[in-house]
Amino acid sequence: MINILSIFVSAVEVSDSVASITPTAKDAIAALSGYTIPEILEIVTKSCISFCIKLVEVSILWFVGRWITKRLLNFAKMIMQKRKTNETVQSFLTSLIDVVLLITLVVMVISIFGIDTSSFIALFASAGVAIGMALSGTLQNFAGGVMILLFRPYKVGDFIEAQGQSGVVKEIQIFNTVLKTGDNKIILVPNGPMSTGIVNNYSREELRRVDFSFSISYGDDYEKAKAVIEELVAADARILKSPKHFIGLSSLGASSINIVLRVWAKQEDYWGIYYDMNKNIYETLPKRGLNFPYQTFTINVNQEKQG
């Protein structure tokens, strides 16, 4: 039997050009040539038992790991649902977390078989760098979306102004924030600039101040105008009593006395109060003998006598 193995080893040495036989395989066969059949069977049996043990360990690790990843995914979903994160973002983040956990688990499984995982880690790292360089702008928008989800400078339904655009937040996507304007246009704003730029969120607070500016002519009674405005403010039930409103003479213009009015209201009443108060002021002040000034020009004409 030993002679048969020796002949087989010699045949392997002759066929070095065959790619399917590696030096490691030849060394293993050469090492077995010094053993008897029972010894070879014992070695094979031990190897099979060791492989089965590792297979059991891998199976246990795989099922336990998947059980843990599912619990982590459910925990992440619960947090996102409590924060009322957009469903599209929830789906993407859930998939992303699942992929990352799965890759981590696969690397752990491979390491049990004694395979060097550093090459896999290096491969993932180099692939990440290459993808990052190719999609730098896209990844910046993705990171911006994550920052928006974490710090929540605005949410779906808020009226915001940012990056020269304004509208109601309709959706917070992975890479963009979707705004719906007052004239029913859809605007996509990248999340990268949204997360680093200035965002004016008009809906963040429950109350909002409504500012007005009116003008009356010189010679009109300011106190009378103030009393008329007080009546109009008191007649509008949407205007809050606290914080208290403010009426003041803001400036003396070239041809007018300028009056400022500031009232407080709930977010949903802002525009209604704004338009109605302007209308009421326009209709009421003239009826009370108060005049709106018109812009005037003075022209001086010099005539020279011709002699």
- Binned at pLDDT 50, 70 and 90, residue 37 comes out as confident
pLDDT for position 33: 63
Axis crossing angle, helix 87-112 with helix 37-82, rounded to the nearest 10: 160
Give the percent of the chain with pLDDT over 70: 74
Candidates 3.40.50.10470, 1.20.58.1030, 1.10.287.1260, 1.25.40.10; CATH matching 41-134 = 1.10.287.1260
pLDDT band at 96 (very low <50, low <70, confident <90, very high): confident
Angle formed by the axes of helices 118-134 and 136-151, to 10°?
Answer: 100
Are 198 and 184 contacting, i.e. CB atoms less than 8 angstroms apart? no
Q: What is the pLDDT of residue 45?
A: 81
- The Cα–Cα gap between 26 and 37 comes to 18
Look at residues 284, 298, 305, 153 and name the one whose alpha carbon lies nearest to residue 224: 284
The closest alpha carbon to 188, from 176, 173, 202, belongs to 176
Contacts 24+ apart (CB under 8 A), 297-303: none
Q: What percent of the chain has pLDDT over 90?
A: 29
Residue 249: per-residue pLDDT: 94
pLDDT of residue 264: 95
Under the banding of pLDDT at 50, 70 and 90, the label for residue 119 is: low
pLDDT at res. 258: 93
Q: Break the chain into its structural domains and give their ranges.
A: 41-134, 146-201, 207-287
Same fold yes or no, 41-134 and 146-201: no
Confidence of residue 195 (pLDDT cuts 50, 70, 90): confident
- Contact indicator for 216, 284 with CB cutoff of 8 Å: no
If you average pLDDT over every residue of the chain, what do you get? 78
Q: Please report how the helices 118-134 and 87-112 are oriented relative to each other, as an axis angle in degrees rounded to 10.
A: 150
Judged by phi (left if over 0) then psi (alpha if -120 to 50, else beta), residue 184 lies in left
More confident residue, 42 or 225: 225
- Nearest-CA neighbor of 267 among 159, 181, 162, 165? 159
Question: Residue range 253-259: average pLDDT?
Answer: 89
Q: State the pLDDT at residue 12.
A: 42
CATH 2.70.98.10 fits 146-201, yes or no: no
Q: Read off the pTM.
A: 0.52
Q: By mean pLDDT, which of 92-96, 181-185, 231-235, 253-257 is the weakest?
A: 92-96
d(Cα 200, Cα 16) in Å, to the nearest integer?
73
Q: Which residues contact 168 (CB under 8 A, 6 or more apart)?
A: 157, 158, 159, 179, 180
pLDDT band at 5, cuts 50/70/90?
very low
Tell me the CATH number for domain 207-287. 3.30.70.100
Residues in Cβ contact with 84 at an 8 Å cutoff, skipping those fewer than 6 apart: 155, 156
pLDDT at 32: 60
Would you say residue 223 has pLDDT above 90?
A: yes
C-alpha–C-alpha distance, residues 141 and 195, integer Å: 9
Supply the pLDDT for residue 255: 84
H, E, C per residue of the chain: CHHHHHHHHHHHHHCCCCCCCCHHHHHHHHHHCCCCHHHHHHHHHHHHHHHHHHHHHHHHHHHHHHHHHHHHHHHHHHHHHHCCCCHHHHHHHHHHHHHHHHHHHHHHHHHHCCCCCHHHHHHHHHHHHHHHHHCHHHHHHHHHHHHHHHHCCCCCCCEEEECCEEEEEEEECCCEEEEECCCCCEEEEEHHHHHHCCEEECCCCCEEEEEEEEEECCCCCHHHHHHHHHHHHHHCCCCCCCCCCEEEEEEECCCCEEEEEEEEEEHHHHHHHHHHHHHHHHHHHHHCCCCCCCCCCCCCCCCCCCC
